[in-house]
């Protein structure tokens, strides 16, 4: 799984997200301050970053377990 790292400009919380979120242009949620960043906002913050983090899953990602592995906040 390819991940990106993100530091919230509002609260300074550092967290990781799946690159699929960027490819799908979905909002990114900060778990620190509960703010949502839309694609236009966070793509400017991530511009110029070249490092990609690789994450390893303990088990294959399936439809049954994806919500246990991937954090998807409720609005």
pTM above 0.85, yes or no: no
Distance from C-alpha of 54 to C-alpha of 32, rounded to nearest angstrom:
23
Q: Where are the domains of the chain?
A: 2-69
Which region, left, alpha or beta, applies to residue 28 given φ > 0 means left and ψ of -120 to 50 means alpha?
beta
* Interval 13-46: pLDDT, tens: 988 888 888 888 889 999 999 999 999 998 888 8
Distance from C-alpha of 67 to C-alpha of 26, rounded to nearest angstrom:
16
In terms of Cβ atoms closer than 10 Å to its own Cβ (0-12, 13-18, 19+), residue 10 is exposed
């Amino acid at each position: 799984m390819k991940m990106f790292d993100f530091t919230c400009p509002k609260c300074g919380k550092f967290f990781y997200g799946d690159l699929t979120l960027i490819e799908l242009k979905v909002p990114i949620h900060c778990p620190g301050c509960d703010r949502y960043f839309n694609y236009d906002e966070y793509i400017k913050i991530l511009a110029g970053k070249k490092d990609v983090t690789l994450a390893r899953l303990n088990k294959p990602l399936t439809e049954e377990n994806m919500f246990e592995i991937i954090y998807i906040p409720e609005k």
